Amino acid sequence: MKKLGALFLICAACAYSGSIFGQTTNGAFSISLSTDKPTVTAGSNVDIRIKLTNTSDHVVDCATAYVGGFDRRYLYDVLDENGKSVLKPGIDPERYPGGYQFCDLDPGTSTGNRGSRISWLYDLTKPGIYTVQVSRFIGNDEKQGVVKSNTITITVVAPEPPSAETK
């Protein structure tokens, strides 16, 4: 009987540690990504809209931390048409002061479509097709996993040459 009790305790400990370390669960929220301008001219600002929806039965954190029009509470995956990141070299958003705004989201409700200027941190100055996806940690501990948004496509086109009338 003691062996059976010890075996039960070992199994329970293994199950508990598996739920803590690295297993991703469905989050208490979903993320929807959109843009008002799926096609932009090279060199212009590129903004996306992020909508967080509470899909749980409890309040979730929807705080923001903006710097340069860019919400640092999200992880961004901005890739060119070859699947390579277009992160601008030398910019670390953690080094810039920004504004933090606390937010609690009730069950079944959504934030508005909050803007995030991805061209602040990502080089979208070359014509091409880019994909964007964001994710957010489920809780304050990275080990709880992340919730990912849908993926959107942004096309960057070359600026039109000046017409003969404007010369």
Say if residue 23's pLDDT is above 50.
no
Q: Are 55 and 28 in contact (CB under 8 A)?
A: yes
Higher confidence at residue 34 or residue 11?
Answer: 34
Q: Render pLDDT for 85-118 as a digit per residue (tens, 0 to 9).
A: 998 877 666 666 677 889 899 999 999 889 899 9
Say if residue 166's pLDDT is above 90.
no
Interatomic CA distance for residues 46 and 159, integer angstroms: 15
Q: Are 83 and 128 in contact (CB under 8 A)?
A: no
pLDDT computed for residue 110 by the predictor: 95
Higher confidence at residue 10 or residue 58?
Answer: 58
Say how many CA atoms lie within 13 Å of 103 toward its Cβ. 17
Q: Are 27 and 105 in contact (CB under 8 A)?
A: no
Interatomic CA distance for residues 81 and 88, integer angstroms: 16
Structural domains in the chain plus CATH codes = 26-159 (2.60.40.2970)
pLDDT computed for residue 95 by the predictor: 67
DSSP class of residue 29 equals E
Say if residue 34's pLDDT is above 90.
yes
Beta bridge partner(s), residue 132: 78, 152
Interatomic CA distance for residues 106 and 109, integer angstroms: 6
Q: Render pLDDT for 141-161 as a digit per residue (tens, 0 to 9).
A: 777 889 999 999 999 999 888
